Amino acid sequence: MSLKILIDRIENKIFQTLEYKSTCSIMLTGGRAANTLYAEWAKSLVNYKENIFFYFGDERCVPPICDESNFILARDSLFVGHYRSLLNRVYRMRAEEPNLEHECFRYSSLLPDEIDILLLSMGEDGHIASLFPNSVALCETKRRVVTVLAPKPPCRRLTITPAVILAAKNVYVLAVGAEKRLKYEEAMRDPSDIMSIPARLVLNRTWIFDLKKDYD
């Protein structure tokens, strides 16, 4: 899929959402593919900025100025130039807080009942957000944001739970690269086994396996 087509689809969903409600919620993701998407999207970010609110699906427990922060990735690729003003509509996870349980409850209270547009990135192991294979967070049914220990650094993280993902209205899953395409095909062979491949939670949503620039 070309970047332009994907961006057009996302922006059309924003316009459609704003036709029947006053605001639109967008939940951002991290990763290399997201960085590519944001850099291109920043050239044509929709003008309804006063009505759009941005959230994050997960965050590493690092200082908010760290290069490994999903917030920093979005700030430096999506919210650039005159879109810097959109930062006052961005609700970041304060994963640097000493009391992470308190932060989970605080961030949960900020989230709308349903996310209008949820962006996810799948890892080579099939994780989405910071829901890794066999994570106890995959069994969470009441809380919407929890702390987890990831199998790769930075290990300590905050993440949304399956409840948030399943309630989202429009979900786009970035799975760019041959290895991730193979993991998707593996997931399709046994869609019910969420614990081994958490991305099975969103097999029926929109998947993106390549991001081509229109001038490539």
pLDDT in tens, the chain (216 residues): 788 899 999 999 999 999 999 999 999 999 999 999 999 999 888 766 679 999 999 999 999 899 999 999 999 999 998 788 888 999 999 999 999 999 999 999 999 999 999 999 999 999 999 999 999 999 999 999 999 999 999 999 999 999 999 999 999 999 999 999 999 999 999 999 999 999 999 999 999 999 887 644
**Cβ pair 167, 114 in contact under 8 A:** yes
Confidence (pLDDT) at 48: 64
Question: What is the C-alpha to C-alpha distance for residues 174 and 160, in angstroms, rounded to an integer?
Answer: 17
Confidence (pLDDT) at 164: 98
CB atoms under 10 Å from CB of 108, counted, come to: 15
113 phi and psi, to 5 degrees? Answer: -60, -40
Domains of the chain: 3-16+23-43+51-178+185-208 (3.40.50.1360)
**Cβ pair 149, 155 in contact under 8 A:** yes
Confidence (pLDDT) at 12: 94
Confidence (pLDDT) at 49: 66
Question: What is the C-alpha to C-alpha distance for residues 130 and 159, in angstroms, rounded to an integer?
Answer: 5
Question: What is the C-alpha to C-alpha distance for residues 212 and 216, in angstroms, rounded to an integer?
Answer: 7
Question: What is the C-alpha to C-alpha distance for residues 102 and 84, in angstroms, rounded to an integer?
Answer: 28
> Residue 169 carries which DSSP code?
S
Confidence (pLDDT) at 84: 84
Q: What share of the chain is helix, strand, coil (3-state, %, to 5)?
A: 40, 20, 40
CA quadruple 159, 108, 174, 196: dihedral positive or negative? Answer: positive
